Amino acid sequence: METDLSNMIPLYAGSSQKYDTVCIFGTGDFGRSLGCKMMQCGYSVVFGSRNPQASSLLPKGAEVLSHREAAQKASIIILAIHRDHYEFLTGLTDVLEGKVLVDVSNNLKINQYPESNAEFLAELIPKAEVVKAFNTVSAWALQSGTLDASRQVFICGNDHKSKEMVVDIVRALGLTPLDQGTLLASKEVENYPLQLFPMWRLPMYIATGLTVCIFLYCLLTDVIYTYVSDGRDISFRIAISIPNKVFPIVSLILLGLVYLPGLIASILQLYRGTKYSRFPNWLDHWMLCRKQLGLVALAFAFLHVLYTLIIPTRYYVRWHRGNSIINQIKKNETSPFETKSAWRTDSYMALGMLGFLFYVILGITSLPSVSNVVNWREFRFVQSKLGYLTLLLCTGHTLIFGWNKFLDVSRYRWYLPLPYMLSLVIPCIVLVIKFVLIMPCVDKTITQIRQGWERNPKSAKQSTFKNGKIAV
Amino acid sequence: METDLSNMIPLYAGSSQKYDTVCIFGTGDFGRSLGCKMMQCGYSVVFGSRNPQASSLLPKGAEVLSHREAAQKASIIILAIHRDHYEFLTGLTDVLEGKVLVDVSNNLKINQYPESNAEFLAELIPKAEVVKAFNTVSAWALQSGTLDASRQVFICGNDHKSKEMVVDIVRALGLTPLDQGTLLASKEVENYPLQLFPMWRLPMYIATGLTVCIFLYCLLTDVIYTYVSDGRDISFRIAISIPNKVFPIVSLILLGLVYLPGLIASILQLYRGTKYSRFPNWLDHWMLCRKQLGLVALAFAFLHVLYTLIIPTRYYVRWHRGNSIINQIKKNETSPFETKSAWRTDSYMALGMLGFLFYVILGITSLPSVSNVVNWREFRFVQSKLGYLTLLLCTGHTLIFGWNKFLDVSRYRWYLPLPYMLSLVIPCIVLVIKFVLIMPCVDKTITQIRQGWERNPKSAKQSTFKNGKIAV
Amino acid sequence: METDLSNMIPLYAGSSQKYDTVCIFGTGDFGRSLGCKMMQCGYSVVFGSRNPQASSLLPKGAEVLSHREAAQKASIIILAIHRDHYEFLTGLTDVLEGKVLVDVSNNLKINQYPESNAEFLAELIPKAEVVKAFNTVSAWALQSGTLDASRQVFICGNDHKSKEMVVDIVRALGLTPLDQGTLLASKEVENYPLQLFPMWRLPMYIATGLTVCIFLYCLLTDVIYTYVSDGRDISFRIAISIPNKVFPIVSLILLGLVYLPGLIASILQLYRGTKYSRFPNWLDHWMLCRKQLGLVALAFAFLHVLYTLIIPTRYYVRWHRGNSIINQIKKNETSPFETKSAWRTDSYMALGMLGFLFYVILGITSLPSVSNVVNWREFRFVQSKLGYLTLLLCTGHTLIFGWNKFLDVSRYRWYLPLPYMLSLVIPCIVLVIKFVLIMPCVDKTITQIRQGWERNPKSAKQSTFKNGKIAV
Ligand SMILES: Cc1cc2nc3c(=O)[nH]c(=O)nc-3n(C[C@H](O)[C@H](O)[C@H](O)COP(=O)(O)OP(=O)(O)OC[C@H]3O[C@@H](n4cnc5c(N)ncnc54)[C@H](O)[C@@H]3O)c2cc1C
Ligand SMILES: Cc1cc2nc3c(=O)[nH]c(=O)nc-3n(C[C@H](O)[C@H](O)[C@H](O)COP(=O)(O)OP(=O)(O)OC[C@H]3O[C@@H](n4cnc5c(N)ncnc54)[C@H](O)[C@@H]3O)c2cc1C
Ligand SMILES: Cc1cc2nc3c(=O)[nH]c(=O)nc-3n(C[C@H](O)[C@H](O)[C@H](O)COP(=O)(O)OP(=O)(O)OC[C@H]3O[C@@H](n4cnc5c(N)ncnc54)[C@H](O)[C@@H]3O)c2cc1C
């Protein structure tokens, strides 16, 4: 639908100008696409080119002049040229005075230059007002109308008026302007389109690392052990059985890691007796990527559910069940029904499925459009209360699944702990600490600290505020 | 990603003021956090304090003055103090004249005071322009940059200009302003952050009540009955078997309850011959929480699907199946294949799964970001047409599941109806009424009424419009 | 939550006017609803009516005057009347001069009139400024506060100032204004609320067509063939077994069709040596509905997963398994365990489930609120890289599922290919072409072309830009 409507702005056909004239320096791909789109939206566009006669492929109706002439025709100049060519602008300082220069440039690498392109430009032409914008928009998307992502245009600049002018253009093009503050933000804005899921990196590394380790561990204690001790080849378990051990273990560990940093932070605050001192950087970073950690954990839980539900359809399982029945008949003995086993297996399955429901609810609440319509108290309720409930259910699921297996020596292979035991360490620690922290006496102190109270007010200095970000 | 960018507004370092000076009364947690954030975004901040010398912990670069001096320095004053301390402001009436007072206060309980804090303030200092804002934002979120929820700042006030000034600040801080009208809205705005899913309350109560009742009912007719009559202990059924009876029943009843109020409304409109008279309050409330009712129903359906798919993995089921095969062999008889049974079971499963697909589609469309990009006609198509289709499929699923069980006297325990029959009452009533209402003759009248036509135009009075909300 | 807050704007009670006076022509349903809502938000409303005395049902406090008198009282006039009645406005030309006329009308059919209602109005009263707005808002939703969809108000008009005035009203009503450009866009804006999922039409047709064809094909080679050759009635397979062949086949074909147009586009660009020439219309349209195609494919995959997981619960399957065990015992032979079979079945299941995970991730990323917070590079990464990975996994899943069945002549019925083979054609073609296109030499040329390079720059004319949309 959206695509449809963004597409519908027609070629402006009226004779009178509805919008101002805009000048674009550079007749490359992006300059042309932007110019074409702006003309469709009713702007009149003048291109500035080194070689006005030779420029082909420009949208019909656009004027092409020399840089100097073009610049004189408009109060806004969009620079669709590479940073490397900015130097020539110094020759135009006189005509650029007081104009709004819109820097749309992108680099090839994150932090390629010491200062951002926009700041570089602002130093070059100090008398012009530089605004950074449009660098997050794809030329291809502008042309083809398939703007699914990157409808948002980040804008920053030191002059309020100039920013407003650019904001108006952005709105007229059907895009969403997002004011990012002064030019100091331009470095971040320039890095933004080069990023590839930066907040997901750490969680993905952790998840991958865990998956590999636990996979190898299970391979060792399962396939390799059986081969070495019995000489049997059960390598086919690599496809489903072993992954279905790895997924829940990784998922539970990750879920524990989601709730651990909050506890460490609380303990640190309790210990320091104040919240006005920075956390160590690793803790800060860890806390900021909990959402991503949680979602990766959810993906693993999702796989675990699928891999579990497919079990009875598997050839191996069907063969095995048939075989055990045949054996029972041959030996003419029937295994009696054990109510305890029924209780145990049904309970851990029930806990697991309830846990998965809350897992999914956590995931849904983390969708931006959902978290936007709940208030802070509601969001914390879901993420913190339901989150701990999820952790509790999933830990319970694993504990009951394990039951008394850990007592059974025959199950230990090469004296190694059973795989499921690995997954329980962190969640159990988290739950125990949480249990201690919500004891009324401890909880009261934490709440006080978080409301700004301090044990030794002297020790905390104003300077903690310096970095613009304080301990949370 | 979002978090990342909201975070990136750097400490403003330029020498010239890009934005105005803002005064903040109160050096508590919220005042400090807000002040720090505003300084990062380029504002210059003056704190007003009872005891300017003693104030520590303030962001570096912020001035701290007495209230009177601070107020004189800015045209906007943010009051980060408790309502209980507002009285002292009366002593500053002269300097506050014509200033914009931003009330950011929150109460501890919903409707704690007869009038809202902002209205109270407006009465106290009638010569200042009071704007309510920022009360939905968490101080912690402001500092830590983890603004996942509550990016939205609700703003209300009687003066357009003053609101605009606050809106500008909100935007500069990277938050989303939402104009809520005049100060009359301030009560609602103050209650908002104290709410915990108000629209979900009724649906949750209904769902919990139904779950408990039907659980007990199933417990009685299943576990307890078997124990009493046969002396067998099948208590293990409490973990999965019984919940998997309760979930679909509750889900279907809730789904029926979603579509019932629309029908009652239609009948009422038909009976009254007009749409211009208020519905009873209970109907109004019921209609407004249909979305939440529907989503709770979806959660139950989701659990039903999980609990059903896990069935063949369960110990009890595996044991039972093995046992029945062994018995067949011992008795040397094989149960013949019944095509009718195959048809029946496969059909109800197929209906159920199709119903679940549409259920999920309904759920996806109710995500705010999805419902925002469809037009009214499309939204009604999905919610109303596909909604009834879902109800039809799920009712069919249950009917075919039940089949002729209701004829089989041996299944009735203590002469009580079978659990599944309970779930069919409301959906069947809904479907029958709907069927009557879409008959051309009836449908035509309803459509006319909804387009504003009235049977007895005289009877409807202007006064129906009084409450600002009319029958729908 | 949203509903709640949008609802809370109270009846404006203050004595002084906070907002301007607005005039509404027409006292029909929409006029009344809009007027009532506007008064609640602090506007003073004057209705213009043919018969001011007779107008009943108007919101209390609203004035009703003759058209002429009403028009003189306000600078904005909202025309809540049908296009057919516009003619009478010509009699008011003198009072309408310089006023902003807001056209809120809708038609009954798409493209009912040659020009849009708003353009018609603009021609009729050339001296007034016409703005199109509010036509996407439902009167019912305005009254009842259940604005889940259609919170967005599309606005278009030739005069910037007039649009701004309307935008202010829209904001004050708690709705979201969306500027759509000049009046030329009004045709699209008027068609918008009449649309019913236009982008979904083609994908739905394709999916329905494929489903029907493949269903009949499976019916023929399965149920009918068995009946004709063996005389056995296996019609019960129509409920689950056959759909569960149809769903994955359709899903995989659709997934192939999602990635095919991108390849055709690349080949066309390679062949033409330029990207500056339009694609054929069918290709354009195909490319624009890939999202919808993909989501339909996901729905089919979802059904396939459900239908597969339910398999072991089915009566037929349980009977069949029991029977085969009984037969083994009777014949006193046990089928040996085949590691190869275990590997094969486990592998295709594992591939399928991994494929489904990525499928779901693709689906989640296509939610508007998610695609809005990722940058262009990230969106392409998910949609293009993960998309091809999904296709690869699903194709692999099908290939291993098929294994060497295609060698087994006894499986061919009436010499027709096996159903699963049908689904492999397009995906395999897509994967092979993609493989060729990502070979370094080919890839380099494509990248160059997409960056604006041309093989024969002469051949491309400016005129390619004419239609406002160029090859992508
Ligand atoms: C599937 C899934 C999805 C997830 N999605 C998200 C998501 O979208 N967004 C997200 O953030 N997390 C997400 N998470 C991660 C996790 O649920 C949250 O981070 C959760 O809030 C952590 O809970 P906590 O109690 O440890 O929080 P904590 O950070 O410990 O906070 C606990 C409470 O203390 C308060 N608090 C903490 N420190 C301070 C302080 N210094 N001053 C004042 N108050 C303070 C907080 O307001 C909160 O009320 C997700 C997890 C999963 C499994
Ligand atoms: C999983 C799930 C999710 C759901 N999500 C949502 C959601 O996000 N939002 C939501 O609202 N509901 C939601 N629902 C509830 C339900 O689907 C809708 O409320 C649905 O619209 C009810 O359909 P109805 O035909 O009974 O509506 P009705 O209210 O009876 O409306 C039927 C039609 O009549 C029209 N109409 C009704 N009264 C009037 C009148 N007085 N004047 C003019 N026209 C009138 C309406 O425009 C509509 O076209 C959800 C349900 C489920 C199961
Ligand atoms: C479940 C599901 C959900 C989906 N949701 C969406 C969705 O929300 N939105 C959506 O669009 N698609 C969606 N799709 C469809 C599909 O995933 C995307 O269209 C996908 O991007 C197609 O990949 P491609 O490599 O063929 O793209 P192509 O269009 O071939 O593009 C490949 C790359 O080339 C670049 N490129 C192409 N042409 C040019 C050019 N002329 N100039 C410069 N660069 C060019 C593009 O930027 C891209 O990087 C969905 C599919 C599925 C299965």
Query: Is residue C11 scored above 60 in pLDDT?
Result: no
Q: What is the largest CA-CA distance in chain B?
A: 103
B103 and B131 in contact (C-beta within 8 Å)?
yes
Question: Is residue B63 scored above 90 in pLDDT?
Answer: no
pLDDT, mean of residues B318-334: 87
Q: Which residues line ligand 2 (CB under 6 A)?
A: B 255, 258-259, 262, 275, 290-291, 294-295, 297-298, 359, 362-363, 366, 371, 380, 383-384, 387, 450, 472; C 140, 146, 148
- Region class of C144: left (phi > 0), else alpha (psi between -120 and 50), else beta: alpha
Confidence of residue C16 (pLDDT cuts 50, 70, 90): very low
Question: Which of A293-302, A419-428, B116-125, C155-164 has the lowest average pLDDT?
Answer: C155-164
Ligand 2: which atom is nearest the Cα of residue B380? 49
More confident residue, A465 or C93: C93
In angstroms, the CA B181 to CA B324 distance is: 70
Q: What is the mean pLDDT of chain C?
A: 85
Residue B57: DSSP 8-state: S
- The response to whether residue C275 sits with its C-beta less than 6 Å from ligand 3 reads yes
B24: enclosing H helix or E strand: strand B21-25
Distance from CA of A260 to the nearest CA of C (A): 26
B226 to chain C nearest CA, in Å? 24
* % residues pLDDT > 70 (chain C): 90
CB contacts, 8 Å: A331 with chain B: none
- Nearest CB among C350, C367, C451 relative to A243 is that of C350
CB of residue C427 inside a 6 A radius of ligand 3: no
Contacts of A46 (CB under 8 A, 6+ apart): A21, A22, A23, A24, A62, A63, A64, A65, A70, A73, A74
Nearest one of C58, C28, C145 to B465, comparing CA atoms: C58
Mean pLDDT for C272-282 is 83
CATH 3.40.50.720 range(s) for chain A read: 20-194
Contacts of C17 (CB under 8 A, 6+ apart): C42, C44
Query: Ligand 1 centre from A383 Cα, in Å?
Result: 6
Residue B171's nearest CA partner among B43, B36, B14 is: B43
Print the SS3 string covering chain A: CHHHHHCCCCCCCCCCCCCCEEEEECCCHHHHHHHHHHHHCCCEEEEEECCHHHCCCCCCCCEEEEHHHHHHCCCEEEECCCHHHHHHHHHHHHHHCCCEEEECCCCCCCCCCCCCHHHHHHHHCCCCEEEECCCCCCHHHHHHCCCCCCCEEEEEECCHHHHHHHHHHHHHCCCEEEECCCHHHHHHHHHHHHCCCHHHHHHHHHHHHHHHHHHHHHHHHHHHHHHHHHCCCCHHHHCCCCHHHHHHHHHHHHHHHHHHHHHHHHHHHHHHCCCCCCCCHHHHHHHHCHHHHHHHHHHHHHHHHHHHHCHHHCHHHHHHHHHHHHHHHHCCCCCCCCHHHHHHHHHHHHHHHHHHHHHHHHHHHCCHHHHHHCCHHHHHHHHHHHHHHHHHHHHHHHHHHHCCHHHCHHHCECCECCHHHHHHHHHHHHHHHHHHHCCHHHHHHHHHHHCCCCCCHHHCCHHHHCCCCCCC
Residue C465 clears pLDDT 50, i.e. is over it: no
Cβ–Cβ gap B375/C307 under 8 Å:
no
Instruction: Compute the average pLDDT of residues B136-165.
Output: 77
pLDDT at B401 over 50: yes
Q: Which residues pair with C154 in a beta bridge?
A: C178
Identify residue B153 by its one-letter amino acid code.
V
CA–centroid distance, residue B369 to ligand 3 (Å): 21
pLDDT band, very low/low/confident/very high, at B54 (cuts 50, 70, 90): low
Reported confidence tier of residue C109, pLDDT bands at 50, 70, 90: confident
- Sequence letter at residue B467: N
**A110-123 pLDDT per residue, tens:** 888 888 999 999 99
CATH architecture of C20-194: 3-Layer(aba) Sandwich (3.40)
Specify whether the CB–CB gap between A184 and B12 falls below 8 A: yes
Phi first, then psi: what are they for C15, rounded to 5°? -90, -40
Cβ-defined contact of B328 to C329 (cutoff 8 Å): no
Write down the pLDDT at residue A464: 40
pLDDT recorded at residue B316: 92
Q: What is the pLDDT of residue C55?
A: 64
Please give the Cα distance from B260 to B280 (Å, whole number): 15
Distance between CA atoms of residues C446 and C291, nearest Å: 23
Subunits next to A (3 or more Cβ pairs <8 Å) are: B, C
Residue nearest to atom 31 of ligand 2 (CA): B262
- Which one, of A389, A439, A466, A467, lies nearest residue A270 by Cα? A439
Cα torsion through A222, A223, A225, A228, rounded to 10 = 170
User: What is the Å distance from ligand 3's center to A341 Cα?
Assistant: 51
Given the CA of residue B471, which atom of ligand 2 is nearest to it? 41
**Residues B390, B395, B400, B402, CA torsion sign:** positive
Which amino acid, B205? Y
Mean pLDDT within C208-214: 97
Q: What is the DSSP string of B149-193?
A: S--EEEEEES-HHHHHHHHHHHHHTT-EEEE--SGGGHHHHHHGG
Q: Which atom of ligand 3 is nearest to the CA of C371?
A: 8
Q: Which residue has the higher pLDDT, C222 or A14?
A: C222
Q: Which of B236-250, C214-228, C269-283 has the lowest mean pLDDT?
A: C269-283
As a whole number of angstroms, the distance between CA C20 and CA A459 comes to: 56
Q: Could you give the ipTM of this predicted complex? A: 0.89
Chain A interface disruption, residue of C345, C367, C400, most A CBs within 10 A = C345
Chain B residues whose beta carbon lies within 8 Å of the beta carbon of residue C310 = 308-309, 349, 353
Q: Smallest CA–CA separation between B393 and chain C, in Å?
A: 14
User: In this structure, are residues B437 and B462 in contact, taking their beta carbons and an 8 Å threshold?
Assistant: no
C267's enclosing H/E stretch is helix C243-272
Which chains does C contact via 3+ CB–CB distances below 8 A? A, B
Parts of chain A with a pLDDT under 50? 1-17, 459-472
* Strand C129-132 to C152-157 pairing: antiparallel
CA distance B166 to B160: 10
Residue of C275, C383, C454 best suited for mutating to test ligand 3, as the one with most atoms within 8 Å of CB:
C383
Q: Is the pLDDT of residue B13 over 50?
A: no
Quote the pLDDT of residue A208: 97
Q: Could you give the percent of chain B with pLDDT greater than 90?
A: 47
| Helix residue ranges per DSSP H, B274-418 | 281-288, 290-309, 315-330, 339-365, 368-373, 376-380, 387-402
